[in-house]
Amino acid sequence: MYFILHVSRHSKIMRIEISIPSQTLTLFDAVGDIKKQYRISTAANGIGSEKGSGCTPLGKHIIRAKIGADAPPNAVFVGRRATGEIWSPQLAAAYPQRDWILTRILWLSGCELGSNRLGNVDTMQRYIYIHGTPDDQPMGKPGSHGCIRMRNADLVELFDWVAVGTPVNIVDTQAEELP
């Protein structure tokens, strides 16, 4: 089932902006002030919306679902389900080809028909998330398979602040960075 959530520009809701060049995720509060800024990692393949591209899609999105609210830090997810495993260097060595999705998932859905929604460019059908990653993975530089990776502690904090329906804008412009 598909749905489009219409959020008034005057709504008292937080919003997220993800800057590809800055490799930052900025959370804005309900009045538009910066609440928090995080270092992230977007796609190693750059920007793009096509299925199978391994790229991070641009444009307006919403958080479609929040998954893993009670999961412990470093909980491993496969297919949006907790496996019962907790990431460790030993587990990583046993499964070297896994793309580690850890701790929490904020599943994104595109809002722009033909750009990031429906057809061959659908963000939700591409399973693009904001998710945790092993703490040994670098932040501040591209490295994901299309998703937005965050430090696990940062993701837990963000997860607790945002709601399903929170607007997320992924842009190819430099963010104003906090000191």
With a pLDDT cut of 90, the percent of the chain lying above it is 87
Q: Select 15-171's CATH number: 1.10.510.10, 2.40.440.10, 3.40.50.300, 2.60.120.10.
A: 2.40.440.10
Q: Is the CB of residue 69 less than 8 Å from the CB of residue 77?
A: no
**pLDDT for residue 12:** 59
The residues that bridge with 142 in the sheet, in sequence order, are: none
The amino acid that residue 91 corresponds to is L
The amino acid that residue 51 corresponds to is K
Among 18, 52, 6, residue whose Cα is nearest residue 139:
18
For the chain, give every domain's residue range: 15-171
**pLDDT for residue 5:** 46
What are the helix (H) ranges across 36-167? Answer: 89-94, 152-161
For 128-176, how does the pLDDT look when each residue is reduced to its tens digit (9 = 90+)? 999 999 999 999 999 999 999 999 999 999 999 999 999 999 999 877 7
Dig out the tokens for 66 from the structure. Answer: 């929040």
For 16-70, how does the pLDDT look when each residue is reduced to its tens digit (9 = 90+)? 999 999 999 999 999 999 999 999 999 999 999 999 999 999 999 999 999 999 9
What pTM was estimated for this model as a whole? 0.90
> How many helices and strands (H and E) does the chain possess?
2, 10
Q: Is the CB of residue 52 less than 8 Å from the CB of residue 45?
A: no
Tokens 């491993």 correspond to what residue? Answer: 76
